[in-house]
Amino acid sequence: MPPVESNKKSRVLFLSNGHGEDAIAVAILKRMKKYYFSSPLKNQKIEFLALPLVGKGDAYDKIGVRKVYQVKELPSGGFALQGLRFFFKDIWHGLLGIIWQQIKVLKTAGKEISLVVSVGDFYPFILAIFFIRKPIIYIGTAISVYMRRFYFPERFFLKYFTKVVICRDESTAEYLSNCGINALFLGNPMMDEMEEDNFTFPFSPVIGFLPSSRPDAYENIMNMLRFIQTLEDCKEKQENLKREKRGDIHYVFSISEFLDASKIKKIVEDEGWRMDVRQGKEREKQSVGKKNKLKATFVYGYFKGVINASSLVIGTTGTGCEQAVGLGKVVFILPGKGPHTSKPRLRFHKKLLGKAIRIIDKQECAGKEVLTLLKDREKLSLLGKIGEKTMGPPGGCKKIARLIYQLISNHEL
């Protein structure tokens, strides 16, 4: 008598602890649904669930993945450990209660989960080990030997509690493999979700600005406009000293579609600039800010095109800056007041991305360095290649999706 086929669904839970991690998880899920679970028959046998540990996890909603729990947004935005001030703010706004609720949800959901895909640092991974106790695929987007070697407890957990560790770079995969851990590098998922666009800029050199998509972007734009003034002052001093005229530098801001254009206009005008809004198609909306002879272009909805058009990039920390490095650009980090630009976070990025990153401490000194690098195309190219190698190539999301599919199929989870 042939075995009766079970109608029970396999449930795969994605755990992610940050907005960037949510985006990576969603990128993998989209490819899984497209390439491996597109047929109705296969969809009946699998259900994908998500638990975003930081913020609302809106990215999951866009692809129709059910969230088993939704937390409120905390002041630190998931960076509570970047300073005592941010930690105590989160505590005051209910961090401990949220963690307790997450643990209860994991214990309940864990009874029906077949596989956990943990995306981020060690926090979601540790939660999965202790409160779900099911097979784990760990995608370590925030761990790398470029930052530090792994402690013994970390290596122990990775070796004995994961099916496989997906690393963010080849060096980390090699190091963990030498420690007896099943570790792979399949390409960098961060490099997969940048939409190709047809943005071009007719002049050069261009300095691209990435003010972030978070609420602190508005203050970052203000600081960046002031840095432009510092750059121009440095340029004028150098021209007077050498008695030679340098060409114009063109400043282009990549503005997230999640930001409020009217709010940006007010900030720009409060800084003494005049803002002219050019209306085109919704994604092609551009604004031009002018102050005396200075001009800055604000491009809404584009990202990759602005980076590709730029000789170098000024940004804050975050996924966008890492993607710019992966596209071969030197990035100057302009610290803001948010927790993701705290000193520990800046050190993290410097260790992770090395010579492709410059931290702006004193604006005047950084201005001189920017002007020097703009003239040295050979050095820009060399540093850009270092950044590309550190970040690794795209293609990771599809390969990771295939790996998860194979694990589900082979083990009949």
Q: Is the pLDDT of residue 173 over 90?
A: yes
Beta carbons of 302 and 199 less than 8 angstroms apart? yes
Residue 122 lies in a domain: yes
Average pLDDT over residues 363-387: 87
pLDDT for position 349: 74
Q: Is the pLDDT of residue 280 over 80?
A: no
Residues contacting residue 102 through CB under 8 Å, at least 6 positions apart: 51, 53, 69, 71, 127
SS3 at position 102: helix
pLDDT for position 412: 47
Q: Is the pLDDT of residue 277 over 70?
A: no
Cα distances from 249 to residues 157, 269, 293, 333, in angstroms, run 51, 21, 11, 19
CA neighbours within 13 Å on the CB side: how many for 184? 15
Q: Are residues 55 and 132 in the same domain?
A: yes
Domain, as residue range, for 43: 10-189+394-411
Identify the band that residue 83 occupies on the pLDDT scale cut at 50, 70 and 90.
low
Q: Are residues 158 and 96 in the same domain?
A: yes
Residue 197 lies in a domain: no
Q: Are residues 262 and 273 in the same domain?
A: yes
| pLDDT tens string 229-274 | 989 888 888 777 666 666 789 999 999 877 888 888 898 899 888 8
Domain count across the chain: 2
pLDDT for position 74: 59
Q: Are residues 61 and 84 in the same domain?
A: yes
The Cα 86–Cα 339 span in angstroms is 7
CB atoms within 10 A of CB 258: 10
User: What residues pair up with 333 in beta bridges, in sequence order?
Assistant: 315, 359
Q: Are residues 387 and 398 in the same domain?
A: no
Q: Is the pLDDT of residue 2 over 70?
A: no
SS3 at position 192: coil
Encode 368-389: b = buried (16+ Cβ within 10 Å), e = exposed. Answer: bebbebbeeeeebeebbebbbb
- Of residues 413 and 351, more confidence is placed in 351
pLDDT for position 1: 38
Beta carbons of 50 and 16 less than 8 angstroms apart? yes
**Of 51-65, 104-118, 166-180, 349-363, which range is least confident?**
349-363
pLDDT for position 326: 92
- Of residues 365 and 282, more confidence is placed in 365
Contacts 24+ apart (CB under 8 A), 28-33: 28/117, 28/139, 28/189, 28/397, 28/400, 28/401, 28/404, 29/60, 29/63, 29/65, 29/401, 30/63, 30/397, 31/397, 31/398, 31/401, 32/401, 32/404, 32/405, 33/63
CATH number (domain holding residue 265): 3.40.50.2000
Identify the band that residue 163 occupies on the pLDDT scale cut at 50, 70 and 90.
very high
Average pLDDT over residues 168-193: 92
